[in-house]
Amino acid sequence: MSVLFKSVQGLKNLSFRALLIKDLFPNTRLHVKRSYFAQETNTVEILQKKLAANKAKNLLIYSCSSGGSIKINLLGVIGSVILLGASYNSWYLFSSLRFRNRKIEEISGFLGTVMQIISSEYFKIMLCSTTAIIGLSILVVTLFFTSRSVNKLYLLKGGNSLGIVTDGVFGREFKYILDLGETSFKSARKARISQVSFKNKNYFSYFLLNNLEGQYHEKEVFDHVICVNRFDKKF
């Protein structure tokens, strides 16, 4: 019941708070339209039932197919291979470059300056190093993005922690356990955005929920228990 009370405290719905106050203080007179009580009484009952079940087992709150993340991951690998291959080819090309019957010094003007630059060892090393760094950067960024794109979100037993499952390398999954009190959401499920981001103070980066393709299995629990905290100064 304490988890339910904490979740209700975070709500901005006045009538929902009024219903809780009416249960705690029966003699208090509240001027709230009766039409709201039926809907919110049902919400309270659903939350009580779900949180009671959560004492014995984990609740699957959200899930999303990993197809999009795998495509991004694969694209990053392909891009990195192409760029690393281009790096090797560039090194081979400039290392085997020969100017027969002509000397670079004899080429005057702008063209001669360009030829002198691209034929230097320093230029070849910088070109290949830069290309390799770009390729590795794309690989790291894509893998980092997939490792923060949530496939499954659980409310763990007891209701004090979240279980996160994300994509890893070549189908491997990354798993995280986050303290619910230290996790803060940037937006709500009903917001018109493609990604719902949230952050835990023990991790530098954000976690992402696909708000378009993902499925919320326990909407009431997500809205009134998990997605209560918002970003504040401590994050």
pLDDT tens digit string along 148-175? 888 899 999 988 899 999 876 666 778 8
> In which band, very low, low, confident or very high, does the pLDDT at 97 lie, cut at 50, 70 and 90?
low
pTM to 2 decimals? 0.59
In whole angstroms, give the CA distance from residue 150 to residue 199.
12
Q: What is the pLDDT of residue 61?
A: 92
70 Cβ contact list (under 8 Å, min separation 6):
146, 167, 171
> In which band, very low, low, confident or very high, does the pLDDT at 224 lie, cut at 50, 70 and 90?
confident
Across the range 20-45, mean pLDDT stands at 52
Burial label, 108 (beta-carbon count in 10 A; 0-12, 13-18, 19+): exposed
Q: Where are the domains of the chain?
A: 2-66+149-226, 68-146
In whole angstroms, give the CA distance from residue 195 to residue 64.
12
For residue 199, what is the enclosing H or E element? Answer: strand 195-200
Q: What is the pLDDT of residue 162?
A: 93
The size of the chain, in residues, is 235
Q: What is the pLDDT of residue 12?
A: 41
Is residue 231 over pLDDT 60?
Answer: no
Q: What is the pLDDT of residue 33?
A: 46
> In which band, very low, low, confident or very high, does the pLDDT at 111 lie, cut at 50, 70 and 90?
low
Is residue 144 over pLDDT 60?
Answer: yes
Q: What is the pLDDT of residue 131?
A: 73
198-222 tens-digit pLDDT: 888 888 778 888 888 889 998 888 8
Which position has the higher pLDDT, 100 or 110?
110
Q: What is the pLDDT of residue 32?
A: 44
Across the range 179-198, mean pLDDT stands at 84
